Each structure stands twice: as structure tokens, then as C-alpha cells.
Chain A
């Protein structure tokens, strides 16, 4: 992957492989699932059944909590989408509609510099 013009903004634990690019959507409550659209990147403290619609729309998942056997990790591997868990302060640093790249192979989140 070409890392030129890409800035590493966060790191976490590899949970599901793959690379996805898209707009971040920070979900702090079940009501926030309304802002998710197909292909967005789900960013949350953790996943749970209340986020089901958003989970199925996501092209990648980033959570602040958990390890390789956490719920988000298991669901992401089933879906075949990248997932990074244990990303401290993800919901604070990532903002809605921020264009990011989730590298689930290396546990790194990039932001593209314009």
C-alpha cells in the first residue's frame, strides 16, 4: 500500500484483516446508527446488538475496547471486513465524515492528506 500522503493517526490491535477506505461515523448511542450509510466506517467504544443495522452497513469497524476475541472482532471476521480494536480515544480523535483508511492487516488507521 502506498503510504505517501497518508498520515498514521491511530493504532490498535489487529482483529480482522483487510483494508477499507471510507467516511468515519462515530456512534456513541443507538440513536447514532441513523447517520450510518452503506460503506461508512463504524467507530464506537464497542459493538453490541443495538448497532446491528450500522454493523451490517459498515466497510470496517474501529472500537476503543477489546481484543482479538472481542465481539467486534468476531463479527467483523464473519462479515469479511477489516477491524481494529483497542484503539484508545478513537471516538474522540476520529470525527464524523473524516476520510480514513483502516488497515486491518497492520492495525493502523490513516488519514489521507489533501
Chain B
């Protein structure tokens, strides 16, 4: 039987996009703070199952699908979990696996107004009315309002770089869990607007050193000219231009009040706050072993479910058995097999590699193995 008849089309499509993304790594997965493939091996053993159980409990309590999706905060938090299908999703039957990953895509559809897969690098969360409202609501800074626009536009680029590295740090490399970049929204005169929401920036229960971080949420709206900016399914930004050179106007708002940051001095101070926090964080983890990072990975992922757990009246913290698991169990032969597969990415024709990886991901969602490591 053809794969398309056996499996959910939404799942197959999403897995093929993730496979294409892995192809872009050219057989060399990110290695900071540890091999990202290794982290995904661990997550596949507990996180999708935990999400499934949590969603089911909320459904039993009569919580609506829209409300459950809102607890995830952004669509990218949902799509990013597809990465974990690099390994068999343990503890769910084939039917439960399909139900969970299909649910993710139906939740994504609550947010993404056009293509839920961002196939054409468009992550459209606002309709035309919301775009117009934003353009009127926020006071943008531009070259007419700033004497040294070149320096200011470069500073915004530095600020976005710092925030990107910051989200990478606090999410143990999985930066998209703390940012939602959306757009591009087409404006007249070859201009486009993109919106960046940095959020969940103060998970102090996971990272105590974040206590002095000033804001949990930062919003930027940026208008570019002649720039081919875009965002993919996993919220990675794609472009072939130097952003500061194409920037025309921008707005930066901090906190839930979206208080505007209107000048060079204040933007530099904000950048410095988050940069210094990363430096403090680097000091805090300077002696970390892989096991220490895996504990943070575990806690951070359970913390993504805090809004759901709060609704259920449950503690967000992982059970003890999971701490023991990440500290004592080493990845099995599937890890070696997968590393071998991605290592052949360059030698294998792209189409063949993507097809091979897509099949593997889909089968991992539908594999329905018993939980080999965890029974809690």
C-alpha cells in the first residue's frame, strides 16, 4: 500500500519539511551544548508521551481545543516537536501517535492563516486588518526621526543577534521554543514587515540566574525594502541579504505593556542586559557535563507544559524517574544508526535522502513501541 494511504497526509508533509531542514545541515548536526541528535533521542522517549497525556487530561476536563492550543503560546512550539520523530516515539500506540501529531497540525492551523507548513517561507499569523492596525498603533523609528540611522539599524541587528543567542541558551539549543518570527507581510513600494516575538524569556524555575532579566516578552516590528526575508516551518529565518542595509523602519516594545524603546541609548542598554545575562549563564554552566545539560533539557521541556499543568492543578516538574533516566541511560543503537544516516547526507542525492528521512520520521510516529525505558 502507498504511504499516503496508510498515514496522515499532514504528518507526512510535516515530516518531509523537517527532513529537508536536516538536509540543510549537510550531515553535520549542531553540536552545542551537545549533539542535538542525542538530545532528540532522549526527548523522543518521554516528551511526546507527556504532551499526549496532558492534552488528554485537559480534554477530559472539557477544556476546548483552542484553549489547549493557546497554552502552547505559539505555532512553532508545536511544529518543533516534529524533530523528535528522528527516533521512535515511545509510549504511544500508532493510533495515539497519529492523533497527537495530527492534533499539533490542527492547532497550528489556529494560528497560521495561510500555509501551515510555511512552504513558501511565509509564516502568516496576522490578517490584513491586524497588519494595518499594527502599522497605525506602533510608533516606528526611521531615518527621518534618527540622525544616525545607519548606527541604529546596525544596533537593531546586534540586538536581534543577542536575542537569538539568548533564546538558544535558555532552551538548550532549541531556540524556536522562545521566539515566533512571523511575516513577511507585503506592504506597498517593495516593502515588507516582519514581526518578532521573543517570549518565555524568564524561566527562572529552570534557570535561577535569569532572576534579574527585565522582561519576559519583547516584540519587534521591522519594515524592510527589497529584502527576501522569510521563515520556515521550524521558524528559522531565511534570506540572502544583510538585514541592517535593507531596514527602513522599526519598533521595539518590551514587556506585556509593549513599552516602546525609542532611542539608541535605550536599545543599547536593553541589548547589554541580555548579553550580560548570557555571560552570567556561561559562567553558571562552565563546569556542566552532558548529564547536567540533559537535566536542563528535561526541565525546560516540562516547563513548556506549565500553562497546561497549571490548568490541571498539577506541578510542572518532571518525575524523579526521568532525572535518573537522562543521567544514567546512554542512547541505544538507533542513535548510532541515525547519525550514520545523516552523515551520508552529502553523498546521497537530495531527493533520495529526504524521502528516506521522511519515511523514517513517519514510521517513528506510527511505530507505537512500548516505553522501553520509562514506566511512570
Interface residues of A (CB under 8 A from B): 13-14, 16-18, 30, 45-46, 48-50, 52-53, 55-56, 65-71, 74-75, 77-81, 86
Neighbouring B residues of A79 by C-beta, 8 Å: 154, 157-158, 161, 244
Q: Does any Cβ of A come within 8 Å of B191's Cβ?
A: no
Apart from the given pairs A65-B28, A77-B243, A86-B26, 13 other A-B contacts in the complex at a CB distance below 8 Å? A17-B241, A30-B282, A67-B25, A68-B238, A69-B232, A69-B238, A71-B30, A71-B168, A77-B242, A78-B158, A79-B158, A80-B242, A80-B245
- Whether the Cβ atoms of A70 and B30 lie closer than 8 Å is yes
Chain B: residues with Cβ within 8 Å of the partner, total of 38
- Whether the Cβ atoms of B165 and A52 lie closer than 8 Å is yes
- Whether the Cβ atoms of A46 and B24 lie closer than 8 Å is no
Residue in contact with A17 in the complex, picked from B31, B236, B242, B278, CB distance below 8 Å: B242
- Whether the Cβ atoms of A49 and B166 lie closer than 8 Å is yes
Neighbouring A residues of B164 by C-beta, 8 Å: 71, 74-75, 78
- Whether the Cβ atoms of A50 and B282 lie closer than 8 Å is yes
Q: Does any Cβ of A come within 8 Å of B293's Cβ?
A: no
Neighbouring B residues of A14 by C-beta, 8 Å: 240
In the complex, what's the smallest C-beta–C-beta distance from B62 to chain A, in angstroms?
Answer: 41
Closest 9 CB pairs of A and B: A48-B32, A80-B244, A80-B242, A67-B24, A49-B169, A49-B165, A65-B28, A78-B161, A78-B160
How many residue-residue contacts, CB under 8 A, span A and B? 96
Neighbouring A residues of B239 by C-beta, 8 Å: 77
- Whether the Cβ atoms of B25 and A56 lie closer than 8 Å is no
Q: Does any Cβ of A come within 8 Å of B347's Cβ?
A: no
- Whether the Cβ atoms of B157 and A78 lie closer than 8 Å is yes
Neighbouring A residues of B32 by C-beta, 8 Å: 46, 48-50
**What's the Cα separation between A70 and B238 when bound, in Å?**
10
In the complex, what's the smallest C-beta–C-beta distance from A104 to chain B, in angstroms?
Answer: 9
Q: A69-B236, A75-B165, A77-B239 are in contact. Are A52 and B275 (CB under 8 A)?
A: yes
In the complex, chain B residues 142-172 whose Cβ is within 8 Å of any chain A Cβ: 154, 157-158, 160-162, 164-166, 168-169
Neighbouring A residues of B162 by C-beta, 8 Å: 52, 56
- Whether the Cβ atoms of A66 and B25 lie closer than 8 Å is yes
